[in-house]
Structure formats: C-alpha cells, structure tokens
Amino acid sequence: MAGAFPPLARHVPDLLKRADGRSYVGKVLLFGLEGEINVNGNAFAGQMPPWGALSDDEIAAVINYVSNAWDNGKSLPSGFKPFTSDEIKALRAPELTSAQVYALRSGAAGGAPATATASGAGGTAPVSFTADQVGRGSDIYSDRCVQCHGDTLDNGEFGGAPLNGKYFKQHWGSGSVAALIAYMKAKMPPDRPGSLTDQSYADLASFLLDANDYPKGDKELPPDTASQQKLSLQRGK
C-alpha cells in the first residue's frame, strides 16, 4: 500500500541475504517496526504491529511462506533453510521495542535507513479532527462496523479486534494516521475492503481517535495519504 506498507514480493529475499537478515526478519514479526523506510526506491511511513502473541511455529510458518511466495523463492540466498520454531524462540529475548527493531534495519538492509521523521513513526504534527467529522464517522461505524467490533468497540458479535484501550495504543499509538487508515482500507469492510471513499475512511478514523481520547480540534482529518503521513498518533509527553 503506497506510502504506508512496503511490498514483500521481490523484497524479502534481499533482507534475508544480509548477514543478520534472518534475525532481523524474525524480530520484525515478533516486535514490530516503526519508522520511515525505503524499499525499491519508494518511501514508506507505516507501522508494523508486533505479532509476538503468535506461537513460534506460527511465526516461522509465516516467514517461510513470504520467503517463497510471489516468486521470492527464486531469489533466496544460497543454502537457505526454512525457519524453525526453535529459531524464533531464541529471538524472543531480549524483548525489543519496534523503535529498536528500526535501529537494526541499517544492518539488515545494508545501509542507513531512510531518515526518520521527528516522531520516529512517520508523523511530525499532532493529529487533528473535528466534532462534525466524528459524527459522520460514528454513522459509518454504526452502519458498517458495529457487528464485528461492538457498540463499545470491543464487544463485537463476530469477534472483531478491539478498537480502543490498550490494544489500540499498542498497535497504533506510535505510528502515523496514514498507517492506521491504510490498514483500515486493507481490512474493512470485510466483505469489500477498500470500498469506502477516502473521506469516509478519514471520518471513521476520526471517530476511533475520539473514542480513544484524542482531542478534537478545528481542522478535519485530511483524506489524502500524503497529509496523513505527517500526522502522528504519538501522544505528547
């Protein structure tokens, strides 16, 4: 997804060819990644959430899949061996933050990472949205999201992930608005992901941010990705 999430096709093998590529890729899945990166000449300022809650077997299976899918298998380093659960288990300690994983990227990618923005997560300005926008987003949520995520954002009939509290903070609280909205476009509505307008996704995000106690302002959350990348979800100290 342009500007937010980089391609895995024709990219994962390049990571694995580096001296510490295997450990880096494993740590990205375990601990997440935040910070602006450059892949194939394009900049991406999204956020990879940590997936350490998955089992060692599951994480190894995911890496083995993306290492071979989309013709990646043709470009793997010589002597490549599938990841094992024991290998993943060994990477769990010491536990890292997603920012620390980002710091490792220079070694894994063979050079300095793209210059991080001031927030370290693709955003330099605080997020802004209006009360009117929250109201529009609330209507969209009630129409398209409430069955999966519930009327309190964490009690959905069909087991959708929580959209508030600790879960929201852990997955999105250090990233940019662009990363959150790009994920929304990729996942919802579940029957037709990406089918809402850019404005509707921005309004829906405003509703979620208001529900997570981000302060409203006098400027609407913009619908375009370039502007969203400049808005950080990291709260002030």
Q: Where are the domains of the chain?
A: 12-108, 125-232
What topology is assigned to 125-232 in CATH?
Cytochrome Bc1 Complex; Chain D, domain 2 (1.10.760)
Note whether 12-108 and 125-232 share their fold.
yes
Which tokens is 199 given? 């404005």
Q: What are phi and psi of 176, to 5 degrees?
A: -105, 165
| Main-chain phi, psi angles of 177, to 5 degrees | -60, -35
**Positions in the chain whose pLDDT score sits under 50:** 109-122, 237
| Integer Cα distance of 119 and 87 in angstroms | 32
Can you give the pLDDT at residue 42?
Answer: 84
Q: Does the pTM of the predicted model rise above 0.85?
A: no
Residues 100, 30: contact at Cβ < 8 Å? no
Superfamily covering domain 12-108: Cytochrome c-like domain (1.10.760.10)
Amino acid at 125: A
Residue 122 is predicted with a pLDDT of 47
The alpha carbons of the chain give a radius of gyration, in whole angstroms, of: 18
| CA separation for the pair 26, 52 (Å, rounded) | 10
Max Cα-Cα span within the chain: 58
Angle at 190 between CA 1 and CA 49, to 5 degrees: 50
pLDDT (0 to 100) of residue 158: 78
- Cβ distance 226 to 123 under 8 Å? no
The owner of tokens 């010491």 is 94
Determine contact, residues 120/113, Cβ cutoff 8 Å: no
